[in-house]
Structures are given as C-alpha cells and as structure tokens.
Amino acid sequence: MEHGERTIPSVTKALSTVEIVEVIRRSEHGMTEPFICRGDDDNFYFVKGIGAGRDSQIKEWVSGNLALLFDIPVAPFRIVNVPEEILEILPPGHARDLGAGPAFGSLEKRLTEIAIPQIREVPLEIRKALLCFDWWIANGDRCFSENGGNPNLFWEPSKRELVVIDHNQAFDPEVTAETFFRDHIFHDVSTDIADDLVERQIYTDNMNEALSHWDSIVAGLPEEWFYIDPEMTIELGLSTDELKTHLLRCLRDDFWNWK
C-alpha cells in the first residue's frame, strides 16, 4: 500500500464497538476518574463516560487517532457502548457519570508509571516525536520533574516500550511556549527539533499526513458526543473545525518559536 493510501485505524474501531458487560470499579487516579470495565471481548477498559465531559471524549478520540498516524505509541483505544441495564445496578452518582451509550474506552495495560531515571531510556526519536506532537495538539498535561507531576506515560523496561495515555486536556488555549517547553517531560530535546530545519520539515510532513485523514477521524465520532445532555437537546458548542484550525498552525513559521 502506498504511503498516501494507508487506512486510518479509527474507522475500523468505530465500526466494531465493544459492548460493556461489567463495571468493575471506578479508578481513583486521573482527573476524570474513569471506570474500569469489562467488554464483551473479555478485555478491560478505562472508560470515560458523559461525566468526563463530552469535550474530553472528543479530544481523546481526535488526539488518539492523530497520535496513531504520528507513530506515537498510544495505548489501544476504541468506542465502547454502555447499555442502560448496566447503570441500574450502579450507585446513582456513578450511573450519572458513566451514562448510557457510546463512551471512550482505553485498553487497560498493567504497566508502571515512568520514573525520572527511565526518561533517558526512552528512544530519542520517540521523545522528540511526543514533544512535537504534544505541542501540536496543545497538550500541557505531560509535565514531570524531580518535584513531581503526572506525565501520563508508562514504561515497559523489558521491552523498552513507552505507552502514552490521556489526551483529554488537549487543545488547551492556555498553553504557552514558555510553560510548555519548561515543564514537558521531554523538554530537553526541544532544540534538537526547533534548531534543525530538516527535522522541522520531517515533522511538518508528518502533521500534514495525519491531517489528510481528518475527515475519517471526525466521521468516527458518535453523534451523542456533540450534545451535553443524554436527550441530545443541548449542543456542546465544540466545533471540530476549530480543532482543525488549531492544528493547521503547524504550517506557520511561528509554530516553531519554541524559545
């Protein structure tokens, strides 16, 4: 298959929705406190329902698919469906936050959160790619230092594999170059990209290639996610066109003003 003809994984995932058959518990970690659920495929998922925010679900789906196309090792994800009858046996608050219908599910992986000594073990190309990708989608939620932080990264030392999760805070208008390149876990490789015209062109080409699949990514979004209420009477107000406009800034020279 030619490079320009590759099939985007999100379309397949959108057509093969997993049905949630059991809610195990609610996670105590993460801003959205996702639900750990078992699907009818016997896999376990971190599920973000309506309580996580419809904008959060949309950002997870869009960012996750862009990450795949950018060769970022994101944890496997898909649309999952939560049936009404599952909610009937949950506490009212949990039932409200999970909600019935399509939700965002990220495959549970039993890995260890990355630690400072392991940062240098992550291959340089992955560190550079993730730094550039997070800047592109304005994800300021990958902060980490000796003073702490939660970069939403896991490391499998035996396989030397990085696993990337959580993009619910992407497209943040408050993200600035000053804070981003000071606090990002891989900030030390920023000059390797910003000062190298060849590297910059490579990443620009990668971003353009990912954007060429934009329509397919958006087509995979459930209609329910564009409404705040389950009855679908109150529109969310988040436009995918606005997200795309943000991403197109990669074509401007000032996108690379990282200092």
Gyration radius from the chain CA atoms: 18
pTM, two decimal places: 0.90
Structural domain harbouring 133: 17-258
Give CA torsion, residues 52, 70, 121, 116, to 10 deg.
-30
Number of domains observed in the structure of the chain = 1
User: What's the CA gap between 152 and 90, in Å, rounded?
Assistant: 28
In a domain, 75, yes or no: yes
Q: Which two tokens stand for residue 152?
A: 């939403």
User: What's the CA gap between 102 and 12, in Å, rounded?
Assistant: 15
150-171 confidence digits (pLDDT tens): 899 998 877 889 999 999 999 9
Order of strands across the sheet that contains 161-164: 112-113, 153-156, 161-164
Q: Which residues contact 132 (CB under 8 A, 6 or more apart)?
A: 193, 203
70-117 confidence digits (pLDDT tens): 999 999 999 999 999 999 999 999 999 999 999 999 999 888 889 888
In a domain, 9, yes or no: no
Provide the pLDDT confidence category of residue 244 given band limits of 50, 70 and 90. Answer: very high
